[in-house]
Amino acid sequence: MNDRMDRFMLTGKVAVVTGASEGIGSALAIGMAEAGADIIICSRREEKLREVKAEIEKTGRRAEVFVLDLRRLSDIEALKKFILDRFGKVDILVNNAGATVPKTAWETTEDEWNLMVDTGFKGLFFCCQMIGSIMKAHGYGKIINLSSTFSRSIIPGRSVYAAVKAGVSHLTEALAMEWASSGIRVNALAPTAVLTPSRAHILQGEVLKKILSRIPLGRLATPDDLVNATIYLASPASDFVTGHTLLVDGGWVAAS
């Protein structure tokens, strides 16, 4: 039994997490460190990353900070060099960074479109490509892209964000097919609304009631729900899983 459970551990692995300064990203970074991985945490906010680094180091794992704006390909190229200089390899990439502007399609501006698409889709793709090339050289890797239930369902005010996430899930399938021969598994996580400290003031009252009415399990997702799923997809336990979008949504999509 111990040998089987060991397949869920990340001991000796190096993981990169984008959008890791707070919320889901920081929870995933800390959770993978608790499972044994060393972590490179990335976002645009260095001060917040330093706080997450301190939490990771409490687990006894190594943490490195890299300031990254996914809208600049030069930043992603610099991240690749940073990984090779500091670790020489990378085993896991979690593309968590994204942006959403909750506006109707009528109201969405070009700048808002560019923010969502360039961060959550273009930046994600080139992060897969550039960081994935390190995995290709070693013949093994796990890429986990953050999709959403909005890749399969929709509410008003999320048209562009939903299109980006649908693209993420479809891109995940395409990359999984192309890169399987290089030993790279590519999967996606699709959560429903996640209760994080930064969203607690939004997810209450009538908004919360409306969301819960669509979730058969009757509660919001928690960061721990995503941590557990991420550890599975990042670990050897999922070595025969690729091209899959794992819904962590309490039944939202099924009920839709």
For 97, other C-beta atoms within 10 Å of its C-beta total: 24
User: Are the CB atoms for 6 and 236 separated by under 8 Å?
Assistant: no
Residue 14's closest CA among 70, 98, 85? 85
Catalytic center residues: 161
In the structure encoding, which two tokens stand for residue 43, read together?
């976002």
Joined together, the tokens standing for residue 225 give 């729900």
**Both structure tokens of 30:** 């800390």
Give the integer Cα–Cα distance in Å for 186 and 241. Answer: 8
Phi, psi values for residue 30, rounded to 5°: -65, -40
